[in-house]
Homo-oligomer: A and B are copies of this chain.
Amino acid sequence: MYFSNMVTVCLLGFGSVNFHLATAFIASKKVTINCIYNRSEIELPKDFKDILFTTKLTEIPKADVYIIGITDDAIQSFSNSLPMSNELIVHTSGGVSIHNLNKKNRRGVFYPLQTFSKSSKIDFNKIPICIESEHINDTELLIRLARTISENVQIVTSQEREKLHLAAVLVNNFTNHLFTLASEITKDNNLDFSILQPLIEETVHKLKTLTPLEAQTGPALRNDKKTIEKHLLLLQDEQQRKLYKQLTQSIQNIHGKKL
């Protein structure tokens, strides 16, 4: 029997996640992308010019793995609309259960735990890829596929994955929003946001030696009421004052202090 290491992949949808996955698969040279499907015509970047592109579901060729990379809300109905059956169909979402995929195909999840913007280059090598499937053979194939681009491949159930996704929202989306609020403050005072960059980097760097619980510092932890009051006066927006109070209280709750 001839055993090929090459995995043939078909990408369904071409948003940020599938764009970055495709870039990594091509670089790995161990994966063949035999088709990119998208519901509307798109201008493919140069590296993808040689790959079959279609907007018609009926033109999708056979592949080892079909990877859905579309918005969470659309995954279920899109998987219902697929013409093939008994194929391995995976989605790439942190927040969608494996059971949202239609049962006529073998279902799976291929979730890279990362934030993707098309303009930000991604090195996949350290990115955890969270795998789920319903058959041991499919799990093995997905692990093999994931290992072509990352050394951090983990089996994660739908239940675990939704918790991970929640945690990811906290450390990425919400953290980034705090950066946004801070950048508004620096902008409003003609200061350069980059002055905060070393502090931001140290905040993350500390996690290598301390747990975040141990690394906590600041007026909330010290229950330094004077500083807290001053900061509330400096914030001009009622919404932001509420948020500041809420975060201060949450720090004090978890560290066992009372306001």
Contacts and interface: CB of A to CB of B under 8 A. Distances in A.
A57 interface: no
A219 interface: yes
Number of copies: 2
Question: For the complex, would chain A's binding face be called helix, strand, loop or mixed by DSSP majority?
Answer: helix
Nearest to A127: B198
A141 interface: no
Contact of A171 (B113, B182, B188, B253): B182
B117 A215 contact: yes
Interface in A134-162: 152, 154, 156, 160, 162
A167 B180 contact: no
Contacts of A163: 185-186, 188-189, 191, 234
B219 A169 contact: yes
A73 interface: yes
Interface string A167-185: 1111111111111111111
